Structure 1
């Protein structure tokens, strides 16, 4: 491979992350023809195929995965270096992107945003929704369900939680329920806890915060993480045996960012108890 073209690696990384040439082109602020040409050039230099067309998208070969892993390491190491250099500028903003399930954003992040502005005023935070733990992508930090296995990731326990069936205080269980989209592996988890539920839910929605809203509005039962249910919601725990599925939330970031003082400060702040975070000067 010609080292003069080492920046072709970013096109391989974008293709693996986004799955189509059009999506990779949008992310890289270029056009599909450029993405295609750069991928083809590195493929010819290596004499190896890098992506296989599958339907509307592309699947990376083993060679592409290995190249993308190298490119991802370079990407995160550069972000960490730039962040540390910028930290000397007290007037500058340091961008940090956190990817997490929407329920985590709405119940752990949104209420504490003003605290973060006080504790780490130079951090310019971006929150992106990611329910499935398919890697960091463009994010600097990911809060994910379950501890990651393998890969070049640092992991830190964030919270324990439990999934339980809740319903409106005045509702009598009659088999109807609220479920998640079938994009979720556990879309029908409620039926494992509530065997008398009808085979299909009365309503399906895309995200857990929508389940929470719909359970509150209709009174119908739905599976919710316990951290979402608060006093005043008008919800009660369903009287069902073994109404609990334990889970864990973990914070992950690329191992090359371990010396990134800004990223570590955000992770440390995230892991502080709420009352302690409020008292940090």
Structure 2
């Protein structure tokens, strides 16, 4: 067994039973987890898991490794509480990354004394970080993760100020699963999206130059300037959750990130002044 990440992968697959659930918990993609599991089996010279349908079951040999992993996890949790987390990642959903809240959150994290926290995209591959947290509007039911509400996200349809009466197409931000209602409305109004991108910050400059509409976070669009909120479309509101490993909920870095996220969302809500619009829950 090469390192703690190898142990974590075996432990996660044993606990969650499926590659997708294990990958979600680890902050990796399914292909990475699958590749690592198969490589480990080859290195150990023994099958570690058997598969039936989508369910993976640990072999007796793997259960011995998993027992060791659980003991190691406990020791690391106790050590983390005593010494503080040194390397941490905060993975942020695509639909949240463009928000000005992320800038405030990044500044807060840069000033933290409890460890180094880096904001990254939600699709960032597995790393050797001591702690991986997720900022998302998705529900992630898991006994090993704790979800804490830290704020709310509002998104609506925007366009360039110079093109309000001449919208012809729309741009779709990828990996935003909560926007289905607005996507349907935009397809009904303009057909299939003209462009698709996974970079929310690139959309605003495009809207200022071309007659396109797009779904953007309310706080981000309001700060951009040169954009207008489009009529005829509702505003979607979702709760934003910070998911952290249950065993590290009292870790100083986690506590500091929770407080920083809540403060950043509270401050942004207080300074925003937006037109009154119908607000609907996403989903």
- For Structure 1 versus Structure 2, the TM-score category normalised by the shorter chain is 0.5 to 0.7
Q: CA RMSD in A?
A: 4.3
Give the match for residue 221 of structure 2: 229
Alignment of 1:122-133 (within 5 A): 122-130=114-122
Q: 1:36-92: CA deviations, max 9, x gaps?
A: 32576253xxxx615x7xxxxxx863425x9799898767655543332224xxxxx
Q: In the alignment, does 2:57 pair up with 1:63?
A: yes
Q: Number of residue pairs matched?
A: 245
Give the match for residue 102 of structure 2: 109
- Counterparts in 2 of 1:257 and 1:234: CA distance versus 1, 3 Å: same
Q: Check conservation: 1:105, 1:127, Cα contact below 8 A.
A: no
- Counterparts in 2 of 1:226 and 1:42: CA distance versus 1, 3 Å: same
- Counterparts in 2 of 1:164 and 1:274: CA distance versus 1, 3 Å: closer
**In structure 2, what is the Cα distance between the partners aligned to 1:127 and 1:99?**
6
Alignment of 1:38-187 (within 5 A): 38=43, 41-43=46-48, 49-50=50-51, 61-64=55-58, 77-87=74-84, 94-102=86-94, 104-106=96-98, 107-118=100-111, 120-130=112-122, 140-171=132-163, 172-181=165-174, 184-185=176-177
Q: Check conservation: 1:11, 1:38, Cα contact below 8 A.
A: no
- 1:157 deviation in Å? 0.9
Q: 1:134-190: CA deviations, max 9, x gaps?
A: xxx965211111343343321211221222100011212443111134x55467654
Q: 1:78-124: CA deviations, max 9, x gaps?
A: 5543332224xxxxx72221111245345323344333333x23421
Please give the secondary structure, in 1, of the residue aligned with 2:189.
Answer: coil
Give the match for residue 10 of structure 2: 12
- Counterparts in 2 of 1:74 and 1:164: CA distance versus 1, 3 Å: farther
Give the match for residue 37 of structure 1: 42
Please give the secondary structure, in 1, of the residue aligned with 2:113.
Answer: coil
Please give the secondary structure, in 1, of the residue aligned with 2:110.
Answer: helix
Q: 1:5-54: CA deviations, max 9, x gaps?
A: x99744535884343469855xxxxxx985232576253xxxx615x7xx
Q: Check conservation: 2:168, 2:211, Cα contact below 8 A.
A: no
Q: Check conservation: 2:170, 2:186, Cα contact below 8 A.
A: no
Q: In the alignment, does 2:238 pair up with 1:244?
A: no
- Counterparts in 2 of 1:69 and 1:130: CA distance versus 1, 3 Å: farther
Gaps of 5+ in 2: 14-18, 24-28, 269-283
- Counterparts in 2 of 1:200 and 1:157: CA distance versus 1, 3 Å: same
